[in-house]
Structure formats: structure tokens, C-alpha cells
Structure 1
């Protein structure tokens, strides 16, 4: 019986020992265990800003997505003078082990590696972390670890905070049982059937993208909830570095009750230290919505003028 239970434990990627010096190349974040995390880059188009951007933004994609999903905000923020970098997190995109959960600790370790490499490349430029959904959860969880990523600020778009604290007893029991009984079983995420954006073209591209995972292993979903639990725990402790949370009024992917409860836990800080921006007509993937340029403007303004109101007027009282 013990042997059978061990055989059915949730699977994690096997991470090798440190064998290399981490490095930043044109196409990858090369990690200490020798893995290349595919990298995409969007730079200011011309002039001195290409070599000396206003700031550097390291962006993390959401669950089952990959760095290519950040192309629209990547281009949009590059046009506003920022250098944007995004890599395929382990278990997603072009990772040979795509579909297999890497574990929250390893995803956080990769974020720290990428942050250090970009800091070394741009020693005199501010560095900001931008996370979409699961990517935001990775950033938030990293903030609770010893020696968190050395960033000047974090931008959390539709942060995935549907942790065990906010799951129903039925969900908790069912997912725990499935992850330990049939971890290899795949399911179709509900997000594929719900409206994640008002940009139909972006949604069609998402559905047709072969790098987007369409069927999720149960143990990967279990790992995601564990990550979201750590992100939820981090909410009251946010503020160092300063943060900007972007919340959409038409959120349909995350549990609305959990999302609302989590946002209520944000610390009450001066606007230059912590900011919540609400967009009533925005969806989960708001940085791909038709009205996304307005949000790009807000991000740019928040980075350059932290004390000023957001251009869109999306500043939300606690």
C-alpha cells in the first residue's frame, strides 16, 4: 500500500545540481542546473533609449501560457521607452518538460536568477517585476523568501491568489485526492471556456497557439494552488518594494470571492508605496484587452512618477 501511494504522489520536475554559471543570452536565461529558459525581449525602437531604457521590466506569464503571451504588453511598454524581458517558466512554453510542474521553490529560484542577470546587464537602470496571474503569484511568493528578488517595484496583474485558504472544502478534498490518486490525469482548465479578454483576436491566438497547454495534469493544478496559497499569505506584507496591483471588474477566471477577499488584505500604504488600480471594464488578461494601451500608460506613469495619480484615474481607495 505504501509503495502504491508513493507511486501516485504528485510529480515534480527533476532539478539537477548546480553545474554552470547562470548567464543571460539573446535567447535564454541559462540556469545553474544547465537548463535554458527560452527568452523573449522587446526593446525601445530607436535612439539612446534602446541602450539606456527608462527602466527594465522582467515579465512572468500566467498558468499554461508562455512568454509569447506577453507580446502585446511587451511591444506596448517598449514603445513607451522600457526594455521588457520575459522567459518561459519551467513547465511551460518551450521547456522540454512542459506540462510537468517544477515546484514553487524552483520557479522562485529562476526568478531570482533572472533578476540578478538583468541587474548585472543594466546596473544603472531601475528594474521592475511584472506578473500576469500565476506570474504575479510567483513574484508575491518570492517576496516572502529570504533574500527576495532585488527589484525597484512589482506590478501584479490579476494576481492568482485562489489558495487553500479560500478554497471550498469540496475543492480541497477533491483536488487533494485526485493529485495523490491519479496525478497524471489531465483536465481542461475552465479558463478556456470563460471570457478572459474582450480582444477576440488575442483569444483566438491563445486557443491556436501550440505552446499553450490545453489540458492540465491534476498534479500541476495542485502545485498551482500551493503557489497561490503562498501568494495569498504574502498580500498583507507587500510594500517593499513598492507595488501596483491591477484588478479587472470583469474578472472571470479567478474565484471572485477569493479575489475580493485577497485585495482587501492589501496594506494601507501611501500611494507611492502601494497602489491598487481598478478597471471596471477590464478582464483577466487585461494587458491584451482592446483598452490595454490605457493600462500601459498607467504602468509607465507609475514607474516614472510614483506620487502622481494614474492618468486613467483607476486609482482605487482601499
Structure 2
């Protein structure tokens, strides 16, 4: 069988599996909301940042990990992890940044890591609302520091979705392998299968075993994740349905930038070996980014996979991020998103 036919066959198999996983549009059961300013405002509290967790207005706790000096840092990083992962994913980056005087707070997002109702989907709106609350809390604690938001994969999609709705109060944005595989970038057979599988089995747990896709070339790291009890291994259909909706919202971000006078410096990172967020989906997203936005820079990695900061070449990615944080200037091999960006053109012409 030719390589093209193998890829096509694999693509159809993955599409059919994902269609089952990403559907349940009518019968999904989201995690219950603990408080509402309309229905039960008496159950809401004032959000606060505690020593090891942040409390949201409904009392929900978001545990965090912190790296670096917390007295008077000049730069604060707020880290959002990827799907089924948790705050520990920021350890390599956070530890490196701490050596350069940058403090990193990485939070377990709702439904992930050590949070309550782990494995359940808590709605796109709740995830973006939590992000805005975390930004306010860190701003209040460190009023003189520059606040940089770094999102990896799903975390980047949360950042994009929130910022597309209304500008975030941040001084910079780093998007690591952003999850932008929206329905608009899925092939017709996958969209058809999504529609066919809708309204079914929201509580079904799927592992994805047997699908030949790997998120990284760092096999020891992947084996360690496989043994980590806080990394979700079997995913509920409702959560996969939810992240697809989140990605649909995230791809609205480029259009939102066209109507704004100011965009904080933004760095977008993507590995050309990424098989989790297909190049076609990424290229579709990048193609929509305004070409006259000097604050937005792109960095591609020829040997980068999906978990860029934890790949075998992760040290280079981490160094690039640290360099950019100290002064958002063009990195070696990167630059503005434009037609003359040769690595981007090469990537997108092949897909």
C-alpha cells in the first residue's frame, strides 16, 4: 500500500473514532455549576489566591504549582496546560524561567489534575471565566509585574477563546501548539461522522489505544506520563465534545484582532511534526491572522512535535520562550507572519 493510501486510511480511521468521541451534542451532561449570580448568588464567594490553590467565585479550587521568587518578580507567567494534562506539564519551562528571575504559576484547570469532578467537562464559558479570574488575582498580588499568559494546546485554545470574546488584561501571550483543530478544518467525512454520532454516549470513556499518533519524541517522558495518576488516560465523550467546541471558538481569535487598535505581543509556536493538531488546521488558523499585526510572531520547529517544551529538542523551545519574555523581539528563524516566511510556506504548501 502506498504512503498516501496509508495516510488516507489512517485519517479515515481516526476521523471515525474522533467522530464518536467528539459528538454527543444533544445529550452531553456538563459538570454542575455551584453558584450563579442569578439563581443562587448566596453560594458565590469573593475569588482569592491561597498558598496552594486559587478559589473561584463558586468556591471551586484550582490547585497550582509555582516556580521562582514570589517577592517582587518583574515578570509573572500564568500557565494553562493541555487537554488531559495538568500543571506539572510546566515543570521544565517553569524551572528554567525561575533561573532567570521569572515566576511561573501553572494551574490545574477545571476537570483536570487534582480538581474536583476530574474528567468531567465544565463548559468553555467556565474555563474562560476562570482564566479571567486568575488574571485578576495575579494582577492584584503583583501590580508592578508584567503578566504573560502561556497556553499549551487546550490551554492556548482557552486563551484564544477568552481573548476573542474580549481583550485579556495581559502584557504578552505565548501559544504553544495551539489547539485550533476546529470543525471548519475537518474533512467532510469527519464532519459527516460527527453529525451521525451526535446525541450519543456522553459518559463513554475512550482511551484512543491503537491509534498510531504520538505527541512527542521524548519516550521516557511519555512513559512517565503514562504512570502519572493525575494524567487522564480514559476520556469521557462529553470532554472531547467540549474541547471541539472550544477549538471552534478559538479560531475566531484572528478575526477579533482585525478590529482592535492594540494587541499585546504574541508568540505562536508550532512543531512541524505535530500530529495532534494537524498542519492543515494550523495553517488555516495562521492564514487568518492579520498580516499587518507586528505584535504577532511565529516560530516553527522542524523537529518539534506537539509537546514542544518536553520534546527531545525542548531545551531550544524553552530558551526561545525565555528570550522572548525578556524582550519580545524576533527570534532566530522566526518573525512576523507573512508570505516571505519560508518555513511557514513550506509547511502549508505540503498540506
TM-score norm. by structure 2 comes to 0.81
Q: Are the aligned partners of 1:67 and 1:86 in contact in 2 as well (CA < 8 Å)?
A: yes
1:78 maps onto 2:107 in alignment? no
Which moves more between the two structures, 236-245 or 52-61?
A: 236-245
Q: Does 1:60 pair with 2:80?
A: yes
For 2:28, the equivalent position in structure 1 comes to 10
Other-structure match for 2:148: 128
Query: Is residue 166 of structure 2 the alignment partner of residue 166 of structure 1?
Result: no
Q: CA 1:168–1:181 in 2, change beyond 3 Å: closer, same or farther?
A: same
- Of 34, 39, 51, 2:59 maps to 34
Match of 1:215 in 2: 234
Q: What's the RMSD between the two structures over aligned residues?
A: 2.2
Structure 1 segment 224-239 matched on structure 2, within 5 A: 224-238=243-257
* SS of corresponding position for 2:136: helix
SS at match of 1:264: helix
Equivalent-residue separation in structure 1 for 2:203 and 2:191 (angstroms): 18
CA spacing shift, 1:190–1:70, aligned 2, 3 Å:
farther
CA contact (8 A) 1:63 1:133 kept: yes
CA distance in 2, matches of 1:9, 1:131: 30
8 Å Cα contact 1:196-1:283 kept in structure 2: yes
Which residue among 200, 212, 215 is the counterpart of 1:196?
215
Contact 2:25 2:198 in 1 (8 A): no
> Corresponding residue for 2:263?
240
Following superposition, the deviation at residue 181 of structure 1 comes to: 1.6
Structure 1 runs of 4+ with >6 Å offset: none
Structure 2 residue runs of 5 or longer lacking an equivalent are 1-23, 36-40, 339-351
Conserved 8 A contact 1:175-1:222: no
Call closer, same or farther: CA 1:7–1:108 in 2, change over 3 Å: closer
Partners of 2:25 and 2:278 lie apart in 1 by 32
Q: Say if 1:85 and 1:287 are closer, same or farther in 2 by CA, change over 3 A.
A: same
Match of 2:311 in 1: 289
Number of aligned positions between the proteins: 304
Bigger mean CA deviation after superposition, 123-132 or 189-198: 189-198
Q: What is the TM-score normalised by the length of structure 1?
A: 0.89
Bigger mean CA deviation after superposition, 70-79 or 226-235? 70-79
Q: 2:286 aligns with which of 234, 257, 263?
A: 263
* Local SS of the residue matching 1:165: helix
- Any stretches of 5+ residues in structure 1 without a counterpart? 1-5, 45-49
